[in-house]
Amino acid sequence: MPYQPPRYPHHPPTDHGARHPVIIVGGGMVGLATALDLAQRNIPVVLLDDDDTVSIGSRAICHAKRSLEYLSRLGLGDALLAKGVTWNTGRVFAGENQVFAFDLQQEPGHEFPAFINLQQYHLEELLVQACQSAGVDLRWKHRVTNATPDGTLTIETPHGPTTLHADWLLAADGARSEIRRSLNLPFVGKVFQDRFLIADVTMQAPFPAERWFWFDPPFHPGGSVLLHRQADNVWRIDFQLGWNADPEEEKRPENVRPRVQAMLGPNTEFELEWVSVYTFRCRRLENFRHNRILFLGDAAHQVSPFGARGGNGGLQDADNLAWKLAAHLHGNAPESLLDTYDAERIPAADENILNSTRSTDFITPKNEAAHAYRAAILELAANHPFARPLVNSGRLSRPATYQNSPLNTPDDTPWHAGPPPGTPAPDAPTDEGWLLRRLPPTFCALSFGPAPALGLPTLTLPPEGPAATRYGAREGDLYFLRPDHHIAARWHRPTPAQVAAAHRRALCQS
């Protein structure tokens, strides 16, 4: 039975013209995660969505380790692991033959795998339930039709129009952002002249839970094909169609079924769950902060899906912004802390756009020279490992490192190992559970051996063992972490005054 989306109740607006401290527009995965994070930090949030359900159709499926760590901090880790399909291995094929396989989880000792695959609608359902429990004011069937630079929103609902004012307006209204349009903000980048057919099929199949990518396979000559397993025995198959394909024709079941059957072989039975045809864009806004309006997720930037960087990048936006806005609204940080959202997330978006553009260029070569280059690389890679990094079937999402962030306190003595400031804190097994699960969602310290009194939540770990090795730490070493668990500073035997100074710096107080 195909997925049946929930319908959430919607109510007539009762607070026409009211002012709210934070309004989020867009109840997709990014808006919902931001709302949940803010609510858990005791910030009242109103969330407006034009629909009354979750994301319908086939969109994000691959959720990266860093997203899982973030969602686990928000309380969803166990549910995601239980429902999602875990995978670490990818295989690349050219024609009939495997070129190579790769493992994205290169070391043991992490709670979360490199990826789980889970349909976006399942993730959004979990986020909606958590938002409801956390007291987010969810307003369904509220379509924003205009926004002004001072945060005034014009809204259409089935019960009539209304207006609200936001002190802080978070635009998470997706790729066609109405807020971006209202403010007339340019969204610049590249559109790829190719089309992909995406078929979600239900079947009992012998394929393992791995990512399989084919260049020019016998069942789809001249194109590329990508296969992923999702929850509920649903499989995602992407077929490259070329720019001249007619999307409406290609979506017809009588045209889709033979393509899928050719791939699976004549004896495999399957049901079509969802079919769509996509073109892809890589682009972003020049700035994500416009005074008290901040853009997140697809409203701020878009990438092609090769690399699973769209939703994963958007969740990193949410993780970055929520603690900063909460710190400011609680009176603990000046407004300038919000400028660091731009300073940190724009380079991250550029990294995603660069990787996604390169992958899409490799997957969809546009001239004879590019085709010849790709054929030569694939041939070499089959026998020579040195050529494998040149095969680009998607550089899969990795967490951004904010190495140039103004919030970092640089090392004051040499470190020969371990993650430097700006890096997301790595997980590790400890005697009392996974390291990241033991950290609070606040500024905190990670001390290897006894720490001085810091007035901060401090997790003390032994100066030897897996965590100490991963952090390159010895007795007396201390890491200072931000609420999003990026490393802000580290020292060998710091004084409390050094830690306090790093804390002020990470809040833009100095």
Ligand X SMILES: Cc1cc2nc3c(=O)[nH]c(=O)nc-3n(C[C@H](O)[C@H](O)[C@H](O)COP(=O)(O)OP(=O)(O)OC[C@H]3O[C@@H](n4cnc5c(N)ncnc54)[C@H](O)[C@@H]3O)c2cc1C
> Which of 36, 46, 48, 377 touches ligand X by CB under 6 A?
48
> Which of 35, 38, 49, 346 touches ligand X by CB under 6 A?
49
> Residues touching ligand X: how many (CB under 6 A)?
36
Closer by beta carbon to ligand X, 154 or else 261: 154
> Which of 77, 174, 399, 422 touches ligand X by CB under 6 A?
174
> Which of 28, 90, 394, 419 touches ligand X by CB under 6 A?
28
Minimum distance of ligand X from residue 113's CB (angstroms): 14
Q: Does the footprint of ligand X cover residue 27 (CB under 6 A)?
A: yes
Closer by beta carbon to ligand X, 144 or else 333: 144
Closer by beta carbon to ligand X, 46 or else 333: 46
Quote the tokens at residue 464.
Answer: 């030897």
Q: What would you report as the CA-atom Rg of the chain, rounded to the nearest whole angstrom?
A: 24
Residues of this chain, 234-293, that bind ligand X according to CB under 6 A = 278
Helix 339-363, helix 310-329: angle, nearest 10: 180
At 338, give phi and psi (nearest 5°): -70, -25
Quote the tokens at residue 147.
Answer: 């926004």
Whole-angstrom distance, CA of residue 88 vs CA of residue 102: 8
Q: Which residue's structure tokens are 């527009």?
A: 25
Minimum distance of ligand X from residue 87's CB (angstroms): 12
Minimum distance of ligand X from residue 203's CB (angstroms): 19
Minimum distance of ligand X from residue 334's CB (angstroms): 27
Torsion of CA 267, 273, 278, 284, to 10 degrees: -130
Q: Which listed range, 295-303, 332-340, 348-356, 464-472, lies at the site for ligand X (CB under 6 A)?
A: 295-303
Residues of this chain, 101-130, that bind ligand X according to CB under 6 A = 120
Burial of 146 (0-12, 13-18, 19+ CB in 10 A): middle
Closer by beta carbon to ligand X, 58 or else 340: 58
Closer by beta carbon to ligand X, 7 or else 504: 7
Angle at 69 between CA 64 and CA 74, to 5 degrees: 125
Angle at 42 between CA 41 and CA 46, to 5 degrees: 105
Q: Is the CB of residue 151 less than 8 Å from the CB of residue 168?
A: yes
Whole-angstrom distance, CA of residue 58 vs CA of residue 199: 8
Residues of this chain, 59-88, that bind ligand X according to CB under 6 A = 59-62
Q: Round to the nearest angstrom and report the end-to-end CA distance of the chain.
A: 58
Closer by beta carbon to ligand X, 31 or else 77: 31
Which residue from 81, 83, 67, 78 is spatially nearest to 33, judged by alpha carbons?
67
Query: Which sign does the torsion angle of CA 115, 117, 123, 126 carry?
Result: negative
Distances (CA, A) of 194 to 34, 53, 134, 241, 366: 33, 30, 42, 7, 9
Which residue from 394, 314, 360 is spatially nearest to 71, judged by alpha carbons?
314
Minimum distance of ligand X from residue 139's CB (angstroms): 9
> Which of 312, 356, 359, 401 touches ligand X by CB under 6 A?
312
Angle at 146 between CA 143 and CA 152, to 5 degrees: 105
Closer by beta carbon to ligand X, 27 or else 418: 27
Quote the tokens at residue 366.
Answer: 């546009």
Closer by beta carbon to ligand X, 172 or else 502: 172
Q: Which listed range, 51-59, 363-371, 381-389, 403-411, lies at the site for ligand X (CB under 6 A)?
A: 51-59
Query: Residue 402 CA to chain centroid, in angstroms?
Result: 16
> Which of 22, 24, 30, 36 touches ligand X by CB under 6 A?
30
Q: Which listed range, 19-27, 160-168, 252-260, 439-447, lies at the site for ligand X (CB under 6 A)?
A: 19-27
Q: Does the footprint of ligand X cover residue 301 (CB under 6 A)?
A: no
According to DSSP, the β-strands at 46-48 and 89-94 are unpaired
> Which of 305, 399, 421, 483 touches ligand X by CB under 6 A?
305
> Which of 143, 165, 388, 437 touches ligand X by CB under 6 A?
143
Q: How many Cα neighbours within 13 Å face the side chain of 289? A: 20
Minimum distance of ligand X from residue 355's CB (angstroms): 13
Minimum distance of ligand X from residue 452's CB (angstroms): 41
Q: Does the footprint of ligand X cover residue 419 (CB under 6 A)?
A: no
Residues of this chain, 184-223, that bind ligand X according to CB under 6 A = 198
Closer by beta carbon to ligand X, 243 or else 495: 243
Q: Does the footprint of ligand X cover residue 426 (CB under 6 A)?
A: no
Quote the tokens at residue 228.
Answer: 């992923």
Minimum distance of ligand X from residue 426's CB (angstroms): 21
b/e sequence 103-118, b meaning 16+ C-beta within 10 Å:
ebbeeeebbbbbbbbb
Quote the tokens at residue 34.
Answer: 């931001």
Minimum distance of ligand X from residue 236's CB (angstroms): 8
List interacting residues with ligand X (CB under 6 A).
Answer: 25-31, 48-51, 55, 58-62, 120, 143-144, 172-175, 178, 198, 278, 297-299, 305, 308, 310-312, 314
